[in-house]
Amino acid sequence: MNRTLPSTWLNRTNEIELDYVRPLFNKMFYIRSSKSADSFLKRFVHLKQLDLKERFWALYLNNANGVVGISEIAKGSTTSVCVNIRHVFQLALLTNAVAIIVAHNHPSGTLKVSGADKAITRKLINAGTFMDVKILDHLIITSESYVSLADENLM
């Protein structure tokens, strides 16, 4: 008896298996503010990376704002980064996250929020609405500082 699925033998693909283990509560980092999100992110990111190319990250949080995961979603050029919304939410679903904080850097060092920054934030918020995953903040970071779209009432 052939136990492989038709799509498996037709496409010569393999099964995907995922094991997820939640971080231990006593070792979990909790996000309490945009400042704590910035400091956590900068522990994960090498500061010299912030001045080279734009990158986009996501912090995945549980219902107590504990970090259950962090991922670099995309790496771009010196002036832009292309974000795939599906990649952001794929990881949210796989980690069972209920909230996300996204961030990207500006290699130029400027903290000015662009129209493109606002547009991607709006797309993420809209997509999250359908999956019950809340976008809590969007940070723009540099090696010196950061700006929070939530703190600036731009979300």
Residue 27 has pLDDT above 80, yes or no: no
Residue 120 has pLDDT above 80, yes or no: yes
SS3 73: strand
d(CA 136, CA 129): 12
Give the model's pLDDT for residue 15: 53
User: What predicted TM-score, i.e. pTM, was given to this entire model?
Assistant: 0.81
pLDDT band at 11 (very low <50, low <70, confident <90, very high): low
Q: What angle do CA 73, 47, 100 make, to 5 degrees?
A: 35
Residue 57 has pLDDT above 60, yes or no: yes
Residue 59 has pLDDT above 60, yes or no: yes
Give the model's pLDDT for residue 61: 95
Domain at 22-148, CATH from 3.40.140.10, 3.40.50.300, 3.40.50.2300, 2.30.30.30: 3.40.140.10
